[in-house]
């Protein structure tokens, strides 16, 4: 194998390997939340239910966070599956909250019932 072939092969290995590392570092992918009972996650869920109630006139009460994911954007998106009570009936909902903690900013971007 000639010198130019070795250089080309080395560059190819670096490009492929470096590209894989770069893809992992790019913001935008969703990552599972390992501990959905962590106080900050529960506070985000409570905010989502309060905000939904305020906007819709509903009277939901948070039961628990079932599961969740985060996405790094300009801040953090939280995509949570919540169990919430409407009177005596409990149902699951998916809420998306965008948070920029350094600005004390939160926005409920989505809140919808999940079909069983």
In CATH, the architecture of 28-113 is Roll (3.10)
pLDDT tens, 39-75? Answer: 999 999 999 999 999 999 999 999 999 999 999 999 9
Helices (H), 26-97: 39-56
Domain residue spans of the chain:
28-113
Decide which of 18 and 96 is more confident: 96
Contacts of residue 100, Cβ cutoff 8 Å, sequence gap at least 6: 74, 75, 76, 106
Sign of the alpha-carbon torsion through 47, 50, 56, 58 = positive
Window from 22-31, 33-42, 89-98 with minimum mean pLDDT? 22-31
Choice between 50 and 8, residue whose per-residue pLDDT is larger = 50
At a CB cut-off of 8 Å and minimum separation 6, what does 26 contact? none
């Amino acid at each position: 194998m000639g010198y130019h072939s070795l250089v080309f092969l080395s560059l190819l290995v670096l490009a492929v390997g470096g590209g894989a590392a770069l893809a992992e570092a790019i913001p935008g992918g969703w990552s599972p939340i390992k501990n959905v009972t962590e106080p900050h996650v529960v506070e985000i869920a409570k905010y989502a239910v309060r905000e939904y109630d305020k906007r819709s006139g509903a009277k939901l009460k948070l039961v628990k966070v079932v599961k969740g994911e985060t996405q790094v954007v300009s801040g953090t998106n939280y995509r949570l599956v919540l169990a919430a009570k409407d009177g005596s009936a409990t149902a699951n909902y998916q809420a998306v909250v965008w948070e920029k903690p350094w600005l004390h900013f939160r926005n409920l971007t989505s809140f919808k019932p999940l079909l069983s």
